[in-house]
């Protein structure tokens, strides 16, 4: 079975790869747990980290197939796992950078606004969901700041 996440450290930079390209890197429970472990590990082994997606897409968001059987209360408890990861990214010892490309949807798009830099490619722009407009390259490149 293929690893859901890749992890390497090169020149003191942790490289954390979402590795479900066949599912457009949709994030399932196992990937959430692996990402949390990788974020904590990177904090102890590196000076910075890059989160990226293998394949054509960064992340198509949450893997909804796992949520069909969950009650609303179970869904709330599940989302708390995400908050623990985001807190470790935002308040952790090192900065994180998201290398966005292709689809960046829902749960996958929740990563960049935190303590993460994201930069659009020359042919693509970053857009806020729900009509929030586009990010400029300068705004998207701002890192470690909430505004």
pLDDT, tens only, 78-93:
778 878 888 888 888 8
Q: Does pLDDT of 15 surpass 90? A: yes
pLDDT at 144: 36
Query: Percent of the chain having pLDDT more than 70?
Result: 70
Non-local (6+) Cβ contacts of 66 within 8 A are: 28, 29
Question: Which of the four CATH numbers 3.90.226.10, 3.20.20.60, 3.30.70.980, 3.20.20.140 does domain 5-141 have?
Answer: 3.90.226.10
Domain ranges (residues) in the chain: 5-141
């Amino acid at each position: 079975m293929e690893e859901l996440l890749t992890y390497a450290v090169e020149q003191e930079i942790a490289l954390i790869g979402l590795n479900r390209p066949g599912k457009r890197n949709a994030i399932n429970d196992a990937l959430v747990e692996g990402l949390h472990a990788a974020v904590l590990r990177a904090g102890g082994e590196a000076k910075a980290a890059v989160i990226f997606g293998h394949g054509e897409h960064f992340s198509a968001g949450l893997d909804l197939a796992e949520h069909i059987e969950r009650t609303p209360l179970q869904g709330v408890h599940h989302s708390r796992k995400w908050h623990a990861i985001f807190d470790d990214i935002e308040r952790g010892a090192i900065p994180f950078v998201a290398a966005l490309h292709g689809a960046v949807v829902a749960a996958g798009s929740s990563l960049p606004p935190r303590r993460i830099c994201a930069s659009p490619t020359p042919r693509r722009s970053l857009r806020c969901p729900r009509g929030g407009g586009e990010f400029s390259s300068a705004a998207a490149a701002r890192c470690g700041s909430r505004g």
